Amino acid sequence: MTTDFLLKKQEAKSKYERRVLASVTHDLRTPINGVMGILRILLEKISDIELKNLIETAMKSSEMLNFLIRDILDVSQIESNTLRLNPNTVDIRKVASDCVKLLENDFKVKEVQLSLSMSFDIPVSIITDEFRYK
């Protein structure tokens, strides 16, 4: 086998893998978006604070899962040099707080205390792609 043939074969394999990856990530996002839609409706209709907090945590978890799926797709975009970042001014204290809220229930179940402490030296905001930063 010639080197050109092997390179073309490898390139064809990589293209196929990227297409499969794109298809799988799309198929995973569809049910997650359905779950998120139901959670949004529940948030609007429920007044019980404790239940609302649990639904908000489920919503944040669904959003993070959606972003992780997007990250899988990003691998394909990185390989093809088509990845685009979405930089904005981000309140990093809010991002950190959101991450702690996301993990809070897992820690409660394990009876582990979780707290967030930040130095005053940390800037209030930075310019970054918020979802990739999380």
79-131: pLDDT as tens digits? 777 888 889 999 999 988 888 887 887 788 788 888 899 888 888 899 998 87
List pLDDT tens digits, range 13-32.
877 887 787 788 778 888 88
Task: Give the side-chain half-sphere CA count within 13 A for 11.
Answer: 7
86 near 129, Cβ under 8 Å? yes
Whether 132 shows a pLDDT value over 80: the answer reads: no
The CA–CA distances, whole Å, from 111 to 21, 45, 56, 100, 102 equal: 38, 30, 21, 15, 16
Q: What is the pTM of this model?
A: 0.54
Q: What is the DSSP letter of 61?
A: H
In order of their start, the domains of the chain are 1-84 (1.10.287.130), 85-134 (no CATH)
Q: Of the segments 38-42, 80-84, 130-134, which one has the largest average pLDDT value?
A: 38-42
CB 131 within 8 A of CB 64: no
